Structure 1
Amino acid sequence: MVELQKIKQMTICHLIVAITFFSCGLLCNIAQFLLLILVKPWNPVLFRKLMYYPCYAFYSQLICVVEWYGGGRLRVYMDEETAKHVGKEHGVMIMNHTYEIDWLMAWLVLDKFKMLGSSKAFAKKALSYAPILGWAWNMAEFVFLNRDFDKDKEIIAKQLKIVFSYPDPTWLLLNAEGTRFTPAKHEASVKFAQERGMTVLKHHLIPRTKGFTSSLPTIRGICPAVYDVNLVFKRDAKVRPSITAVLSGDLLEPYMFIRRIPLEQVPTEEKAAADWMQKLYVEKDRLADSFHETGSFFKTSGFKEVPGKVIQPRVSSLINFVAVALLSNLWILNFLITSLLSANWIGFLIALSVLGLFYALLTKVSNMSKISKASAYGASEGKPKTN
């Protein structure tokens, strides 16, 4: 077992995953582009229905790596009311922004609810230009923001109508903290809260509320609920949640508490809605604190205990990954060998360049996810901009 884990950590194994993921991504981009020019102008509903499949095929590649290659298992806690609605309606997914791969853990749970291919996220505009992954999100109609509220409020109003017009249940991911948690950013957040008489958060940053409050007039009547998603990893876990851990096939064990909040429970007035979001993060902080101190979301948080369930992986992600892996990696290997044997040095160099490009893209995605590469918290003077 130890030797197998060492093999998984080898660069060649990471390269195989990179080839598989980005080859599928290129195929996804091509399929999306064809849908964009051939279907969307004539039938936007059919376009959005069909868009699910290339996106699912692409995203599920990394789901397979986490679950089938690394053996990771997601444990989900939710009450009966939440379980009754989840995966059957549109929703805004408010999730903590704590870990390098929290976005991948969001994919993991969305896959289990069969919404992986249709769900969207608020994202920085710069990400829309990122090769393959950014292109996929752009053509899949994600909500890209400029970090300029005057411009963004118009984008939000327009794009949310599109997102929640999808015929299949769609969740829109919102990381209200705006950037990942670090000690330095937390210090700035604590200072900000103290200066304004707000509750200091121990495990989260003070959320930025304008994106959420400006969304409310648009989504009322077309999105029935907010889903509060709380993601944690044990602090004493042997493996730190990161892209490197995913590629190395390390065992990841995420825990998630999900609760459904009907949208009518969110105040309509902007200031009251902002206060509601702040209160939500105080509750999220209690949940995280209870988990880290006691190993349970419920013992000291004040929330009623609900059963947890280990979600088993879907076979569809395994079949999808194996099929793409065999086709892409064997094709490149065959091309390399054929070019080498026939002294086709141009073809050989092109194949090597493609391999180098895929590995560079993998490194880029890994760096984008690193906490050290995340955006600063607040303005240049160290204060959050959007509260």
Structure 2
Amino acid sequence: MNHRTRLDWMFLWCCLLRFSFLRLEKICLKAALKAVPGFGWAMQVASFIFIHRRWEEDRTHMSNMLQYFCHIKEPLQLLLFPEGTDLTENTRARSDEFAEKNGLPKYEFVLHPRTTGFTFIVDTLRKGDNLDAVHDITVAYPQNIPQTERHLVLGLFPREIHFHVRRYGVSVLPRCAPDLQLWCQERWREKENRLSEFYRADPRRFDEPEARVPPCKSQLRVSLIKAGSLVFWTGFISASCLGLWLWAPLRIYFLLMVIFFLGQQRVTGGVELMELACHRYWSSQGGGVEEKEE
């Protein structure tokens, strides 16, 4: 997926919710976010893949996490932003410098993708028999683009969000890394042209005459989910705050959980690494038993 704003992932979640795929979602994202209290801890528990943007360091961790997903055979939908960061004036300038050095065209609506991580992930999942397809997603905002969380706090929500999704089955993906890198770069050239046409169009929309929209939840069901979520989370947050104010055991539990998450991250690096270590241990124990029986 192209990374137009820092909030693209959140808007995509709304889209996935309508098609009942949100429960499978994991994100490959920068490691600094795992330390953010609350949602950073939740992403650790959900085994998101955190990277430091230093390939020699990230390669081993990414390989361990992907092999773990392949081994447990858990259905996986991994969201990648090959551009590495969201589109701003500064990041576009750096992308243009990269284009000049490598004899590539300059882009206005996307950044040049970093293909090393993408090709490694595709190759690892394919070898682990855990890759069904790559979905090429292009996101566009007809008006009112919220670049950061600050815009949402100010109430600057987008009136519309458009997603163009194209599925590429694993059988049509190139087998070798150089060809796969070229394949990814070609998709980004298509994104640039697609977005250029989108923002010139009136009204702004993706022009795909043969587009097929798979069945999704009805508007009534979506409205009920929204209402239920608002009621639940409003009640949960209110009850939690009231409980912390009135009930000492809950305050002790809250403090212990904060200490646990801060402590385990300093000692082990994250809950997802603890999960990975536990899996390795129990796998080795099971392997030892089988060898003795044989």
TM-score computed with the length of structure 2 as normaliser: 0.72
How far has the Cα of 1:307 moved from its partner?
5.4
SS of 2:178's equivalent in the other structure is helix
| Counterpart pick for 1:325 among 234, 255, 260 | 234
Which AA in structure 2 matches 1:227? H
SS in 1 for 2:22: coil
Secondary structure, counterpart of 1:117 in structure 2: helix
Distance 2:180 2:145 in 1: 38
> How far apart, CA to CA, are the structure 2 residues paired with 1:100 and 1:144?
16
Letter in 2 for 1:271: P
Aligned amino acid, residue 231 of structure 2: V
Q: Which 5+ residue runs of structure 2 have no aligned equivalent?
A: 256-294
**Aligned residue number for residue 35 of structure 2:** 129
State the shift of 1:126 in Å. Answer: 1.9
Q: For residues 226 and 166 of structure 1, do their structure 2 counterparts lie closer, same or farther at Cα, with a shift above 3 Å needed?
A: farther
User: How many residues are paired up?
Assistant: 241
Equivalent residue, structure 1, for 2:287? none
Offset at 1:159? 1.0
Match of 1:186 among 92, 105, 112: 92
How far 1:251 moved relative to its partner? 5.7
Cα distance change of structure 1 residues 124 and 245 upon mapping to structure 2, 3 Å threshold: closer
Return the alpha-carbon distance in structure 2 between the equivalents of residues 168 and 320 of structure 1.
Answer: 26
2:196 is aligned, of 289, 293, 311, to 289
Superposition CA RMSD, Å: 2.9
The 1:240–1:126 alpha-carbon spacing in structure 2 relative to 1, beyond 3 Å, is closer
Q: For residues 45-75 of structure 1, what are the alpha-carbon distances to aligned partners after superposition, in whole Å with 9 as ceiling and x for unaligned? A: xxxxxxxxxxxxxxxxxxxxxxxxxxxxxxx
Query: Which amino acid in 2 is paired with 1:276?
Result: W
- For residues 215-294 of structure 1, the aligned pairs below 5 Å read 215-220=121-126, 221-234=129-142, 237=143, 240=146, 242-247=148-153, 248=155, 250=157, 252-294=159-201
The whole-number CA distance in structure 1 between the counterparts of 2:121 and 2:146 is: 34
Is this contact kept in 2: 1:115–1:169, CA < 8 A?
A: no
* Contact 2:5–2:87 (CA under 8 A) maintained in structure 1: yes
The alpha-carbon deviation at position 210 of structure 1 amounts to 0.7
Q: Over residues 239-288 of structure 1, what are the superposed CA-to-partner deviations in whole Å (9 max), with x where a residue is unaligned? A: 74653454538463111111101122221221111111110100111111
Deviation (angstroms), 1:331:
5.7
Q: Following the alignment from structure 2 to structure 1, what is the Cα–Cα distance between the partners of residues 3 and 141?
A: 13
Which residue pairs with 2:225 in the alignment? 316
State the one-letter code of the partner of 1:283: E
Per the alignment, do residues 150 and 243 of structure 1 end up closer, same or farther by CA in structure 2, a change over 3 Å counting?
A: closer
Change (3 A) 1:320 1:190: same
SS of residue in 1 equivalent to 2:53: coil
CA gap of 1:251–1:269, structure 2 versus 1, over 3 A, is closer
Equivalent runs, 1:1-387 vs 2, <5 Å: 95-164=1-70, 169-220=75-126, 221-234=129-142, 237=143, 240=146, 242-247=148-153, 248=155, 250=157, 252-294=159-201, 295-298=204-207, 305-306=210-211, 312=219, 313=222, 315-329=224-238, 332=241
Aligned in 2, Cα 1:110/1:205: closer, same or farther, shift over 3 Å?
A: same
**Contact 2:7-2:146 at 8 Å conserved across structures:** no
Contact 1:164/1:223 (<8 A) preserved: no
Alignment partners' CA distance in 1, 2:120 and 2:8: 24
User: 1-side partners of 2:73 and 2:18: how far apart?
Assistant: 19
Please report the TM-score for the alignment, with normalisation by the length of structure 1.
0.56
Q: CA deviation at 1:216?
A: 2.5
Q: Per-residue displacement from partner, 1:177-206 (whole Å, max 9, x unpaired)?
A: 001111222122123213212233221110
| Cα distance, 1:333 vs structure 2 | 5.7
- Deviation of 1:170 (Å): 2.8
Uncovered stretches (5+) of structure 1, i.e. residues with no partner: 1-94, 340-346, 355-387
Q: Output one character per residue of 1:194-229: Cα deviation in whole Å (capped at 9) or x when no partner.
A: 321223322111000110111222111211100111
Query: Could you tell me how far apart the structure 1 residues matched to 2:112 and 2:14 are?
Result: 26
Closer, same or farther: CA 177–251 of 1 in aligned 2, 3 Å: closer
SS of residue paired to 2:57: helix
Residue 230 of structure 1 contacts residue 284 of structure 1 at CA under 8 Å; is this kept in 2?
Answer: yes
